[in-house]
Amino acid sequence: MTDEEQARRGRVIALVIAATGLFWIAATALGAALDWSQRARALCDLAALAGFGMAIYMLFELWRARRANKD
């Protein structure tokens, strides 16, 4: 993997983290404003948790790829 590909992957990971955070903030605000049920709010929380988990997994893969290219 080249340095350009690694940089692109890093930008994608940053976008995933930012989009997940914005979704979570928006879902929390909408849930409070529109008086959503706790079940609907929990579903949004679980979706955000999945997004952050995916970002952590992507970061781990990028870290491993950088270590492999370093050697």
- With a cut of 90, say whether residue 11 has pLDDT above it: yes
What is the domain count for the chain? 1
Contact 62, 9 (CB under 8 A): yes
Residue 2: both structure tokens together: 């080249």
CA distance 58 to 37: 32
Range of the domain at 57: 3-70
Contact 13, 55 (CB under 8 A): yes
Whole-model pTM? 0.90
pLDDT in tens, 16-41: 999 999 999 999 999 999 999 999 99
Contact 44, 21 (CB under 8 A): no
